[in-house]
Structure 1
Amino acid sequence: MAIVADQALKFFIVQNYSVGEVQEIIPRVLSFNYIQNDGAASNIFSGQMWLFYIISAVVIPTVIYLLIKHRQGHWSFKLGLALVLGGIIGNLIDRIRLHYVVDMFQLDFIQFNIFNVADAAISVGVVFIFIYLIFLDKEEK
């Protein structure tokens, strides 16, 4: 689901916006700002695609292994893993196809990196995993 939403919105942005074009969606809260990011957050590791391929090649099978191993586990852990997996795959598709990642969400009320659905899925997934590990994992043992 995260992969489909991510790729669909990226397709829409690329087809309807020019690079650097900004359109306010929710006044003073959220805008679309189409950028082509060849790095990570804040464009760190710019142009280092090989690094992201290696990270993806390690993380994707690890997350799949954890999903299989914990298939009977708590929903919050599995949801977190699935969101992380979907986000990594969504950005990997861009890196392989385009050699950059399409980012578009700009928060207008705070200075923050421009991001995409895949980035949001990874972040929310990590939050679910931490909630599980900190609060819920102890209950299952």
Structure 2
Amino acid sequence: MTATRQPRRHTWPLLAVIAAAAFVADQVSKAWALRDLTPGMPRPLLGSVFQLNLIHNSGAAFSIGSGQTWLLTLVAVGIGGAVLWHARRIVSVAWAVAGGLVMGGLLGNLYDRLFRPPSFGQGHVVDFLDYNGWFIGNVADIAIVAAAILVGLLAILGVTYDGSGPADRPATREEVHDA
């Protein structure tokens, strides 16, 4: 029995809307944090478990790569380019959501690296969501983590970006050999 191919669905507009929404939410929340929070003066919300604590991060997650801001900027541009390259091929709504979340989060932090002090391409990311002192992040980081969880779930379920499931994919050499 031959599978009939579904008509190609364009999901890039959904990806773009989600990316724009995540970017705007990130930048609006950072503007609020810069206006209403003071570095070094945490504001508890749930005791020390979750608090608002403004910092300017020159590194990546957990401040990894501090002092390598220019390299992180180049990596972000590369990842963003890869997402854009694949965006027009994405048919799966779930993958479009994941792509939009990662793109919006990436753009939110990339904007900081490009346009915030100390200089173009080496700006520090505004972080203010303190999770029990383990790490301090922002709305862009939430979007990126949500995208990573969704991508992991889609991989476990075998959903590909073009919407095909495991039954629709041609078998790999290993699968043919194992059969």
TM-score, normalisation: structure 1: 0.89
1:80 aligned partner, one-letter code: A
Amino acid of the residue matched to residue 50 of structure 1?
Answer: W
Q: Which runs of 5+ in 1 are unaligned?
A: none
1:95 aligns with 2:113: yes
Q: Which has the higher helix share?
A: 1
Q: Which is greater in Rg?
A: 2
Give structure 1 regions of 4+ aligned residues with deviation exceeding 4 angstroms: none
Residue 42 of structure 1, CA deviation: 1.8
Aligned residues: 137
CA shift at 1:57, angstroms? 1.8
Q: Which residue of 2 is the match for residue 105 of structure 1?
A: 129
1:27 positional shift:
3.7
Looking at structure 1, the residues matched to 46 and 87 of structure 2 have their Cα atoms a distance apart, in angstroms, of 36
- Tell me by how many angstroms 1:22 deviates: 0.6
What is the CA distance between 1:91 and its match in structure 2?
A: 0.2
1:1-141 correspondence to structure 2 within 5 Å: 1-70=21-90, 73-98=91-116, 99-108=123-132, 111-137=133-159, 138-139=165-166, 141=168
For normalisation by structure 2, the TM-score amounts to 0.71
Q: CA deviation at 1:19?
A: 1.2
Aligned-pair identity in percent equals: 30
Moved more, 55-64 or 83-92: 55-64
1:17-69: CA deviation from partner (whole Å, max 9, x where unpaired) = 11122111234542101011000112111021111121012111111122211
Q: CA RMSD in A?
A: 1.5
